[in-house]
Amino acid sequence: MRNKAVLYWWCQLGGWLLYGLTMVFFAFIFDSKINSIFYPKILVIILSGLFFTHILRELIKAFHLKPPMVPKKWWLLTISLICILVAFNLTNSAIAEWLHLYNPKTKVSVDKRFLINLVSDSPLILVWVSVYYIWHYIELGTHTEVQKVQLESLVKELELKTIKSHINPHFIFNALNSIRALVDENPERARTAITELSNILRSSMQAEKLETVPLERELNIVKDYLALEHIRFEDRLQIEYDIDEDTLDQPVPPMMLQTLVENAIKHGISKHKSGGLVRVVSDYRNNHHELIVQNSGTMSMQDDGEGFGLSSTRNRLKLLFGQEASFSISETEEMVEAKIVMPVQEVKI
């Protein structure tokens, strides 16, 4: 932030000094007569230009007129610009009258001098505004590209971490042992369990290819995962779904819900001798899409929030939705709740 402020002031000083040097250069080139009031007039314009363009910048920041700007706010920018133009030229005219920065032989009234300045000096402010907005639009485009690269990198890292978390001896051992136990007593369920395991691994490997997937697809993977875990925990694991069907088309980051459910099993259910409940909720609240994973347990038993799964959830939400999304973990009535809040997206049919 400090570096940006320093850069801004260097650009301010450099830009207005460049204007002054340009005026002096053209005065010499075209053999203009440089009289005693030439340099003071240039200095007045430079100083007032520095002051009023800085005021304009503060107005732009205060009224949130920086790019990308809401179309409805263009009128506010226009009014701010007109006020600055009037104040800039009125100040220059008043100072010129006060310091006698004019030729007595061609002296005109203050109001006429104001109109002359309005025509001749206003382009300076307009050029400043143009440069300011072009700079911020370029910066916005660069920032968006950087975010995209960061997101792609994070998703790839998540995909690799997810594959490693699923294809580790602990998970494979539990899943295959559960399936092996079913082979003789319930062959049909064993075949289904193999399909469920295959779906999870396939989804993990495809995670890097997509930024978002429909909630319905993500929910199917979660159901496969919980079905496999139910074979292992049996009656110790209770599963509930509270899904608003209207949310099934909403885009969500792939494997994000799966990560939270896995965290609930690992740090909640598996640490209770009697097991517990995992509840998955999807609903619209306050014009946002809320995804909630609840599990029996306490915060002291849960991940501290700094693990890869939870930190990547926060980072991915920030990169995808900015400040419009949030992630939180809380504890209520012996239940731990992980909540994702995302903006509602318009679904193209």
pLDDT tens for the chain, 349 residues long, are 567 788 888 888 988 899 888 888 887 777 666 677 888 888 988 999 999 999 989 888 888 887 776 677 788 888 988 999 889 888 888 888 788 776 666 666 767 777 877 787 888 888 888 888 888 788 777 766 767 766 666 665 665 455 444 444 555 666 777 788 778 778 888 888 888 878 777 776 665 566 788 999 889 888 888 888 888 888 888 999 999 999 999 999 887 888 888 888 888 887 877 888 999 999 999 889 999 999 988 776 554 444 556 777 787 788 778 888 999 988 887 889 999 999 988 766 5
Structural domain spans, the chain: 2-146, 167-343
Instruction: Give the bridge partners for 338, in sequence order.
Output: 293, 329
- Write the CATH number of the domain with boundaries 167-343: 3.30.565.10
Q: How far is CA 75 from the centre of its chain?
A: 26
Q: Is 276 helix (H, G, I), strand (E, B) or coil?
A: strand
- The residue assigned the tokens 């610009």 is 81
**Closest Cα to residue 293, out of 345, 242, 220, 231?**
242
259 CB neighbour count, 10 Å cutoff: 25
Phi, psi of 32 (to 5 degrees): -70, 145
